[in-house]
Amino acid sequence: MSSYTKRIIAKKILRSLKNRIFIEKDAVLVTEHLASSISLRDVSKKTDISGPQFQLKFREARKHFTEAFVKNLKEVTPQNLETESDVESVAVEDVRQDDKAVLFRVNADLLSKSVLESIRVEGDRYGYQLQGGSAPRHTTLVEYSSPNIAKPFHAGHLRSTIIGNVIANLFERVGHNVVRINYLGDWGTQFGLLAVGFHRYGNQQELQTNPMLHLFQVYVKINGDVEKEKGPKQRETESATYQEGLEAFKKMEEGNLVINSDLLSLWTQFREISIQEYSKVYKRLGIHFTEYQGEAMFQDKSRALIDTLGERGLLQYNSEDGFGYVEVETAGQNNRAALVKSDGSTLYLTRDVAAALHRLDKYKFDSMYYVVDAGQILHFRHLIGVLRRLSVPWADTSPADIHVGFGRVEGMSTRRGQVVFLEDILNEAKQRMLDTMRTKETTKDLETVDVVADILGISAIIVQDLRERRQKNYKFSWDKVLSFKSDSGVSLQYAHARLCSVERNCGVTLTTEIDPAHLSDREGQLLLLHIARYEEVVSDALRTLEPYHIVQYLFTLGHLINSAHRNLKVKGQPEEVAKARLLLFNCAKTTLANGLTVLGISPLQQM
């Protein structure tokens, strides 16, 4: 049910109540509350759906409104609701003590017709028409992926890539102007170390032929040297190699790269190679960015920031280690956010503050989110804290939670061992899919088997990553990821491909001119009500920045599609029945495709 339909219903109810309880200006507010609290959540779980009912819960509505509404509701009768309404009757019901619900009995035929028609009209926009068109366009910046150059792309970066992409897609679909930033870790001691490593172990020819692998080998070797030298219980700083790396990095920092042309050219080369390689994988995943930024580009700006902080008297120095910090308030407590080392060099946080200021200036965003593993929570609290101390207006009004955190993945490995490159995991998924497909009658003759296997592998990994609350850690298992039988990316694709095949083979033409009475079977009604909920789920996902709402919704949609498919044949049925069912299946397909697409998955026509 679209929010438009909800508002209409809400207005109708209000109109009949208004003269008695509300003054005009409250009416608008109440309509909004009412519309937003209409929920179909419980409907699809109900077993008896003859004459579908859905409940309005008022726990979230304002108290005075709830009371007034509940008190007066008894006077609402079908007669004072308009005749052409989906709503046939309204009644108050005690759910639990102190918890009342308003029970609506809806006219199933009218509801079916209005839902199906709106999906046909809205198509790929179905589910996303949440906002009125007149509001000024909201600019939302989402930062995600953000791997560290010349270091392995670990599971955390994969999660950031997948989750960030969904969040950006969701905002875009509901009409925000979305800026997608990939903030590369291209600065820091590891670059000095890598430069030392390259002099020791690297060679240009290998770097040209197998860039990522070669950089990785150098990275492993030089870190091995550090490990060997420092001894088991000592700190990295005890190692001569590490000191050499620090020295090299210091040169890079001081010279701003310009005077140190050897280091500069190595750094540029490593960075370019990494971006090129990442871009290939992003392309395969269907992921794009408005801009690649990187810590390095905020080097100068970080220094300027330190000066500003000093001038404004915000910077204090710790007498013990000489670090410069700004006092910030995080979660009601005072904390020290370190921004400059005793030797004057800047930190990860300094660059992030400078980067945020730069983004604000460049994109004038209304909101910004950092999709980064949960381990960095404190970092982002410090970040918003420093921005607030700087009296950045956006930071003052922004919620403290700009950090969209997520848990760890355990045990992600391929047949070759631990995952080092993102590409390995995608290749492994594809290969495993190919192996399974070759054993299946239906898929082994597909001409496009290679492409299909790749898409299926990617869908499976994405769905696996998004199926639970993002903060939860999870264990990676190939069997679960690639399952055809239980809920997975593969099972969702299968449901979609099956709907495409119904359309191809049913011999009926798609039309909205149907008689909804032919959809009164239980399977049909359940599917329809679930389809009608999609918009509500999108808004839950957006409100909580939790993509799992959509995945879980799609799993249920998949089950309902399968049981409808078993019981509601299209082919060989009387024409009127076939048409009605075809329209229902077509709308289910649109909804499923919309959900998959927003998750970053291309729906398959055939598999």
185 binds ligand ARG per the rule CB under 6 A: yes
**Contact letters for ligand ARG, residues 85-124 (x by CB under 6 A):** ----------------------------------------
Residues 335-394 that bind ligand ARG (CB under 6 A): 352, 370, 372
Element (H, E) at 62: none
| Residue of 113, 154, 176, 518 marked catalytic | 154
DSSP state of 453: H
CB closest to ligand ARG, residue no: 185
> How many angstroms separate the CA atoms of 340 and 73, rounded?
63
Backbone angles phi and psi of 99, in degrees to 5 = -130, 110
* Residue 381: CB minimum distance to ligand ARG, A: 12
Nearer to ligand ARG, 9 or 142 (CB): 142
146 binds ligand ARG per the rule CB under 6 A: yes
- Asked if 154 is an active-site residue, the reply is yes
148 binds ligand ARG per the rule CB under 6 A: yes
> How many angstroms separate the CA atoms of 318 and 63, rounded?
51
> How many angstroms separate the CA atoms of 160 and 362, rounded?
23
- Asked if 157 is an active-site residue, the reply is yes
Nearer to ligand ARG, 43 or 155 (CB): 155
DSSP state of 44: G
* Residue 370: CB minimum distance to ligand ARG, A: 5
Q: Which stretch binds ligand ARG (CB under 6 A): 143-151, 418-426, 488-496, 504-512?
A: 143-151
Nearer to ligand ARG, 353 or 577 (CB): 353
Residues 470/163, Cβ–Cβ less than 8 Å: yes
Amino acid at 595: G
Q: Are strands 87-96 and 99-106 parallel, antiparallel or unpaired?
A: antiparallel
Nearer to ligand ARG, 385 or 489 (CB): 385
Pairs from 266-272 (Cβ < 8 Å, separation ≥ 24): 266/194, 266/195, 266/198, 267/186, 267/191, 267/195, 267/296, 269/207, 270/149, 270/150, 270/191, 270/194, 270/215, 271/149, 271/184, 271/186, 271/296
**Contact letters for ligand ARG, residues 1-30 (x by CB under 6 A):** ------------------------------
Token pair in block for residue 408: 């760890």
| Residue of 33, 157, 518, 565 marked catalytic | 157
* Residue 352: CB minimum distance to ligand ARG, A: 5
> How many angstroms separate the CA atoms of 591 and 106, rounded?
22
Nearer to ligand ARG, 405 or 595 (CB): 405
> How many angstroms separate the CA atoms of 437 and 435, rounded?
6
* Residue 113: CB minimum distance to ligand ARG, A: 48
Give the helix ranges, DSSP H, for 42-94. 63-73
> How many angstroms separate the CA atoms of 394 and 371, rounded?
19
Q: Are strands 324-330 and 333-340 parallel, antiparallel or unpaired?
A: antiparallel
Site size with ligand ARG, rule: CB under 6 A: 8
* Residue 204: CB minimum distance to ligand ARG, A: 27
Among 12, 33, 143, 179, binds ligand ARG (CB under 6 A): 143
Q: Which stretch binds ligand ARG (CB under 6 A): 141-149, 209-217, 395-403, 526-534?
A: 141-149
* Residue 131: CB minimum distance to ligand ARG, A: 28
> How many angstroms separate the CA atoms of 562 and 157, rounded?
35
Nearer to ligand ARG, 157 or 467 (CB): 157
| Residue of 6, 151, 430, 565 marked catalytic | 151
- Cα pseudo-dihedral 275, 279, 281, 282, rounded to 10: 120
Lay out the sheet containing 87-96: strands in order across: 53-57, 99-106, 87-96
* Residue 238: CB minimum distance to ligand ARG, A: 24
152 binds ligand ARG per the rule CB under 6 A: no
Nearer to ligand ARG, 118 or 146 (CB): 146
> How many angstroms separate the CA atoms of 3 and 118, rounded?
11
Q: What is the CA radius of gyration of the chain?
A: 29
Nearer to ligand ARG, 351 or 432 (CB): 351
Token pair in block for residue 226: 């550090």
* Residue 94: CB minimum distance to ligand ARG, A: 50
183 binds ligand ARG per the rule CB under 6 A: yes
- Asked if 288 is an active-site residue, the reply is no
Catalytic positions are 151, 154, 157
Which positions touch ligand ARG (CB under 6 A)? 143, 146, 148, 183, 185, 352, 370, 372
